[in-house]
């Protein structure tokens, strides 16, 4: 072998590089423009370099409610995350055995993924308003976002339990463990990494959801709605600074999830080595 790479390698590498550029190019551009000087605008060339527009975010804004919308998105994301994790576990456990109507129920759950998001938002908003209920981000907005996050969480848990080795549970029962003890000390630690993934899915999908929140948030905007509103009346790089900070926050959330994965992996390795020493 002469070590020479075929032409197809370079073609595919170029396509992949273009894909990465297309994927992250807009985010990088916004990040660069957010460091404009005080006299900077919304386009290149940049007029100086400073942190002026980041400081502006913490001043009283003439338009919008940036930090109020951020807190609402954060609270809503946590609500959706917890609900998605709990319901996904319950659904995954329920579908381990066939029951009457399980196939129909499965397709009904998945169907919400292919329904246009704006129609879901419109439908949920109409149901709440016609029922005399308040259209609010914590009620109707919460419900409409669950139609987006729950199918993803359930699909992940279906895949996890489909390849779950039941012999672990049988061994726990043979040793006298109750159903709750089997779940708490055997099943839950094994599926914990997948639950972190479901939680990350639930939070991030909720945090940046626009269409399903558009007609269900009521009088108070979430952060995606607030940013969309700002694009029509904000003509300074402060909106780019906001985009850079929200992107950084998203990466922090992903980083926390990765750290949790690493901690769980080390614990498993340590428990396995301890068990091996015990057998010796």
Q: Which residues pair with 36 in a beta bridge?
A: 49
Question: What whole-number distance in Å separates Cα of residue 178 and Cα of residue 244?
Answer: 50
Q: Which residues pair with 49 in a beta bridge?
A: 36
Q: How many CB atoms sit inside 10 A of residue 196's CB? A: 18
pLDDT tens per residue across all 280 residues of the chain? 456 888 888 999 999 999 999 988 988 888 888 888 887 777 778 788 888 888 888 776 655 678 888 899 999 999 999 999 999 999 988 888 888 888 888 888 888 888 888 999 999 999 998 888 889 999 999 999 999 999 999 999 998 988 888 888 888 888 888 888 888 888 888 898 889 889 988 998 999 899 999 889 988 889 889 888 887 777 778 888 888 888 888 888 888 888 887 887 777 677 655 544 544 5
- List helix spans (H) across 7-58: 7-33, 52-57
Contact 127/96 with Cβ under 8 angstroms?
Answer: no
- Give this prediction's pTM: 0.81
Contact 25/210 with Cβ under 8 angstroms?
Answer: no
């Amino acid at each position: 072998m002469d070590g020479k790479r075929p032409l197809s390698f370079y073609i595919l590498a170029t396509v992949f590089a273009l894909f990465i550029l297309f994927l992250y190019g807009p985010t990088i551009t916004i990040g660069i423009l957010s460091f404009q000087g005080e006299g900077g605008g919304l386009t290149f060339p940049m007029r100086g370099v400073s942190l002026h527009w980041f400081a502006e975010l913490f001043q009283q804004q003439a338009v919008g409610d940036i930090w109020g919308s951020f807190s609402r998105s954060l609270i809503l994301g946590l609500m959706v995350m917890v609900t998605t994790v709990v319901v996904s576990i319950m659904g995954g456990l329920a579908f381990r055995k066939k029951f009457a109507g399980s196939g129909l129920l499965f397709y009904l759950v998945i169907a919400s993924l292919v329904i246009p998001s704006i129609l879901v938002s419109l439908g949920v908003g109409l149901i709440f308003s016609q029922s005399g209920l308040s259209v609010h981000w914590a009620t109707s907005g919460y419900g409409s976002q669950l139609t987006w996050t729950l199918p993803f969480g359930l699909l992940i848990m279906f895949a996890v339990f489909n390849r779950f080795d039941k012999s672990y549970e049988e061994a726990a029962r043979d040793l006298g463990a109750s159903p709750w003890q089997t779940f708490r000390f055997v099943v839950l630690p094994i599926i914990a990494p997948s639950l972190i993934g479901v939680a990350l899915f639930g939070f991030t999908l909720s945090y940046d959801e626009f269409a399903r929140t558009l007609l269900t948030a009521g009088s108070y905007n979430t952060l995606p709605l607030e940013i969309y509103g700002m694009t029509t009346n904000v003509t300074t790089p402060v909106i780019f600074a906001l985009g850079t900070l929200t992107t950084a926050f998203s990466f922090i959330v992903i980083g926390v999830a990765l750290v949790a994965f690493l901690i769980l992996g080390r614990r498993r390795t340590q428990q396995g080595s301890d068990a091996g020493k015990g057998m010796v």
